[in-house]
Amino acid sequence: MNTELYIARHLIQKQSHNFSRPIIRISILSVVLGLAVMLLSVSIVTGFKKEVREKVTGFAGHIQISKYDSNSSFETLPIVFSDSLRQGLEEIKGIKHVQSVATKAGIMQAKEDILGIVLKGVGDDFDATFFAQNLLEGHFPNIKADKISNEILISKKIADQLQLDLKDTVRVYFINNTETNTRGRRLFVSGIYETSLEEFDESFVLADQRHVQRLNNWTDDQVSTIEIFVKDFDQMEAITELVYSKLDYNLTASNAKDRFPQIFDWLALQDINVVVILALMLLISSVSMISTLLVLILERTTTIGVLKALGAQNVSIRKIFLYQAVYIIVRGLFWGNLLGIGLAVLQKYFGLIKLDQANYYMSEVPINLAVLPLLGVNALTLIIILLFLLIPSFVVSKINPVAAIRYE
């Protein structure tokens, strides 16, 4: 039987390995293009979701702790951020960083122009990595524990509206609920950032949180909210529950999905687009491979008849053709990966395709070249096409040895 299989493989391989044949070239091309489109789709969508998610959570944290009340404005009631609370939060498994924030609405005046802004006060425990990545000019405010800083970080949108540059001086005016007079602060622009998230860029100015604490007559341990960053975004909701269980009755915890449901619902819809593209590309590649396998089987009808006459089983003959189909698929996968990943790398490092920041929150098409999704697409392509190929392979069992030997 081993001799029969060897002879069969030799005869069939001689025909199926001839890649100059149109039917085989079309099959390989369909796999190449299909896989390239799937790889690009997965890379773009996962990159887009990752980019937007990091911008939203980078600005406001994965989880926020605030006073439990119905006030949805920026003039929130203070919460006491004690050392024991910080320690208790940092002990929760999965939490990467904890920081305090104090916010207050105000009016910024520069020359003859004024603009309503939200002053986001941060302390020396603030993780400025996100803003460093989105910094256009200057530097993040130099906030030290021993001295209050008058430096501020503004967005490019605010800078354009008020015609501000680095080192310019501005005045920001605030009104307390308990006071009738206006209180002002003279601040200096130390840096300009741009996140492309208009909801944030058009309002938020970062400064030393001690300005807000003094304006509100708070103590040094009183803040508006506590921002928490987690190590794994997929564990964010579970960690939110753990955080909430450690809080007093007058505090509440909410995560990014709770605060920005419209953005995350929109991101979830992108998965549907990927599923549709994957399904279409797999269907096209599978149909092309089915056609190729049928042609190979029909062209080798006489050989199949001889093998059956010698006692070869249908399963053994089917395996021979499936092996050849796998050879063609693997060749297509190789070139498909080369094309798809190559185009993705070009986009990632050269940003060839641009986007409208107002609609997509970024200036160019993002790419995520994570290994697992790319391997998953390759494995899915190979498995689905092979499953489809099992159907035409059953044609072998329908071939009559006597009629096949006489077949011309």
pLDDT score, position 402: 58
Strands 151-155 and 182-193 come out as: parallel
The predicted structure's pLDDT at residue 317? 74
Give pLDDT tens digits along the chain (408 positions). 456 556 555 555 555 455 446 777 888 889 999 999 999 999 999 999 999 999 999 988 999 999 876 555 667 789 999 999 999 999 999 999 999 999 999 999 987 789 999 999 999 999 999 999 999 999 999 998 888 999 999 999 999 999 999 999 999 998 876 666 788 899 999 999 999 888 889 999 999 999 999 998 899 999 999 999 999 999 999 999 999 998 988 899 999 999 899 989 988 888 888 899 899 999 988 888 888 878 777 777 777 777 777 677 777 777 777 887 888 889 999 999 999 999 999 999 998 999 887 778 888 999 999 999 999 999 999 999 988 888 777 776 666 665 656 655
Inter-residue contact 193 to 131 (CB < 8 Å):
yes
Domain residue ranges of the chain, discontinuous segments joined by +: 2-55+264-405, 69-248
Per-residue model confidence (pLDDT) at position 240: 96
Task: Give CA–CA dist 143/74, Å, rounded.
Answer: 22
Query: Token pair 């001690």 is at which residue?
Result: 210
Interstrand relation of 204-208 and 222-223 (parallel, antiparallel or unpaired): unpaired
d(CA 180, CA 79): 24
CA separation for the pair 339, 382 (Å, rounded): 17
Separation between Cα atoms, residue 176 and residue 377, nearest integer Å: 57
What is the predicted pLDDT for the residue at 19? Answer: 45
Nearest alpha-carbon partner for 212 in 149, 263, 264: 149
Question: In angstroms, rounded to a whole number, what is the distance separating the alpha carbons of residues 396 and 297?
Answer: 7
- Model-level pTM greater than 0.85? no
Residue 341 main-chain phi, psi, to 5 deg:
-70, -35
- Supply 77's token pair: 């009631």
